[in-house]
Structure 1
Amino acid sequence: MTTATPGDLAGRKDELPPVSTGPLMELLSMERPPPPGPLSASLAFGWRSMLKIKHIPEQLADVTVLPVMLVLMFTYLFGGALAGSPREYIQYLLPGVLVMSVVMTTMYTGIAINNDIDKGVLDRFRMLPVWQPSTLVGHLLGDVLRYSIASSVMLVAGLLIGFRPEGGVPGVVMGVLLLIVFAFAFSWVGTMFGLLVRDERTVIGASMTVIFPLNFLSDIFVDPQTMPGWLQKLVHNNPITHVASAVRGLMEGRSPGTDVLWTLGWSVALVVVFGSLTMKLYQRK
């Protein structure tokens, strides 16, 4: 066993490798950038959701093929019986079916989050130094593209078979924007189910248990005046009825101020109630 003396170390000083001054040392010496804010983090996760559509385009079938099938089936099956002709019926039907299709699409937010949990992706995101709810908000923002595609496809299909909105382009645009605002708020329901249940099938079942009766107990297909009195009360207090009436009124060129206010009020209530529940569930995961 040998022991090095201070003199030996001094003699070897010139032989030691010099301290690196390359890119690594430059990075270490630089000031660390601040963490992303809530908005930028949410937009980044929203972009991730949209990239999924780019790499798996077949998942857009639910917002392209299904809406067209709904428009064609309901128009030509029930148009003659309910309004005298399919062309007359589609003027009333299309705004309502547009609302129904977009609201049904909201459950896919919960499915995507449930898949992230199952694959462990959400656990990795929780380790990032970002605003924690941004992972959920990003999913919701990314699905806005789905709602826009579904609305565009249905409007094109409706125009081809005779839908003529008297409100023109401004009325159609305002109606679609109002619907997207409500769909974003309603997506928190599906997001809650995505965190609450264990698998994708249960998310679909739980979401449809809520969406199905809300859609059919509304004025989407027929005027509530033709219904029994007790059923009219349920229909008039249904948020889907307010949304469908508001969108229909805007596309017809009317000013459905009351229904618009009800729609915005329901949107705020959905975000406050189900957004809070979703955040609590997310923190417990």
Structure 2
Amino acid sequence: MTATTLTAPLAPARRPGLAAGVRHTFTLAWRSLVQIKHNPMELIDLSIQPVMFVLLFTYVFGTAIAGSPSDYLKFALPGIIVQNAFFATMTTGFGLNNDLTKGVFDRLRSLPVARWAPLAGRIVADTVKQAWSVALLIGVGMILGFRVGNGVLGLLAAFALLLVFSLAASWISVLVGVLVDEPDKVQIFGFMVIFPLTFTSNAFVPTEKMPSWLQHWVEVNPATILADALRGLLVAGPVAGPVAKSLIWAVVLLAVFAPLAVRALRRRV
């Protein structure tokens, strides 16, 4: 007779806890930030391109629109910051799609890493990049003569509002990055949507100087509302109304696109 040895089934691996997931998130966020030195083009998008927009819009259109470059800078810099923030959200979808197509997510699934950490790490890293771009734009604006009218508190509030809105809007980019099959298609989506959205706002031209039929859209455009909020916080003007509307837009974007993006990501990986 032969003895039969029974082996106990392997216990399922325990998922990492919250503390471990947070640690994994920051590790993967650092990975995304370190990759910048291997991809100089991303540094151009984060630094050189926003500065070029400030210089070109201020000195090419400033006199024609506001009478002088310095007066136009007070109006346009918050709008340029808003446009740059919208475009910067597309880097989240681009980087996410790049990781998906190259199998990074598949490799991470074989490791004891929290399932939500790769996505959270990408978003945290892009929030840091967003903060860098805003600080750079304000610094360049101050060199050109821009001054914050509401002091340090206004500056910090503008920073916080912009990052909160960008964090909510980045879920649109996440959804696009999961659905398309190539990173370049994320950029195509960004140009097709963000360019019309920002240029049909009052980011660069006052609403009253636009055609009457366009003004109705401009007034409800989220880019307009966010630009008005930043102008109120950084320079002067109404604050409570634009800030409240911007936060409402952020909540709506988060409530609509975050669940859709998470569901699409679960289906793909």
Number of matched residues? 254
Q: For residues 102-181 of structure 1, what are the structure 2 equivalents within 5 Å?
A: 102-181=85-164
Say if 1:192 and 1:281, in contact at 8 Å, map to a contact too. yes
User: For the residues of structure 1 that align with 2:149 and 2:235, how far apart are their CA atoms?
Assistant: 5
Report what 2:218 is aligned to.
235
Aligned residues: CA RMSD: 1.9
Matched, 1:89 2:72: yes
Larger mean CA deviation between 51-60 and 62-71 belongs to 51-60
The superposition leaves residues 31-59 of structure 1 with CA deviations (integer Å, 9 ceiling, x where unpaired) of x9972314344333323222223554552
CA deviation vs aligned residue, 1:64-121 (integer Å, no higher than 9, x gap):
1011100000001111111111011101111110111121111111111111111111
Distance (whole Å) between structure 2 residues aligned to residue 161 and residue 272 of structure 1 = 39
Map residues 1-285 of structure 1 onto 2, 5 A cutoff.
35-37=16-18, 38-56=21-39, 59-254=42-237, 256-285=239-268
User: Structure 1 vs Structure 2: percent identity of aligned residues?
Assistant: 39
Per-residue deviation, residues 205-235 of structure 1 (Å, max 9, x unmatched): 0122221111111110111122233211111
Say which is worse superposed, 150-159 or 167-176, in terms of deviation.
167-176
The question of whether the paired residues in 1 share the 8 Å contact of 2:197 and 2:221 is answered with yes
Q: TM-score, normalised by structure 1?
A: 0.83
Tell me by how many angstroms 1:194 deviates.
Answer: 0.9
Structure 1, 229-238 or 34-43: larger mean CA deviation: 34-43
Compute the displacement of 1:132 (Å): 2.2
Q: Distance in 2 between matches of 1:46 and 1:261?
A: 30
TM-score between both structures, scaled by the size of structure 2: 0.88
> Closer, same or farther in 2 for the Cα pair 1:183/1:86, shift >3 Å?
same
Structure showing greater radius of gyration is: 1
Q: Output the CA distance in 2 between the equivalents of 1:272 and 1:34.
A: 26
- The offset of 1:273, in angstroms, is 1.0
The one-letter code sitting in structure 2 at the alignment partner of 1:261 is A
8 Å contact from structure 1 (residues 110, 193) kept in 2: yes
Structure 2 gaps of 5+ residues are 1-12
Seen in structure 2, the aligned counterparts of structure 1 residues 270 and 41 have a Cα distance that, compared at 3 Å, is farther
